[in-house]
Amino acid sequence: MPTFDDPAFLARVDAAEEAAMADPVARVLLTHAVCPTASDRCGWQGWLLEAAWRRIAPGEDPFSRRAPAITNQICPNCGAEVFRTYVSRELVAEEPAPRN
């Protein structure tokens, strides 16, 4: 298992970050979810990722470039299936932030 100070591991992370910045995610859809408060559930609540999309060219279908994303609808605390509420938010990036 690599450690966070392993140069080879850091080089792979840098390469992955560079690839992601070359074609950044421009829009995400988040949904508020809750872990039901039954006796075998933890009661967690928070935001889950529903979908992500990459930047598009002018006139291109805005949903045509879906980005890979982990969209599991499971509780991050106990692993149970969560209930997704009807509260959703779409976040749209203006321009990628410059890297330092």
Spans of all domains in the chain: 24-92
pTM value is 0.64
Confidence (pLDDT) at 4: 72
Determine the average pLDDT of the residues in 47-66.
78
Contact in structure between 43 and 35 (CB atoms under 8 Å): yes
- The residue among 18, 46, 37, 21 whose CA lies nearest residue 96 is 21
Exposure letters 28-41 (e unless 16+ CB within 10 A, then b): bbbbbbebeeeeeb
Residue 26 pLDDT greater than 70, yes or no: yes
Confidence (pLDDT) at 32: 93
- The residue among 48, 53, 36 whose CA lies nearest residue 87 is 48
Determine the average pLDDT of the residues in 66-88.
86
Residue 96 pLDDT greater than 60, yes or no: no
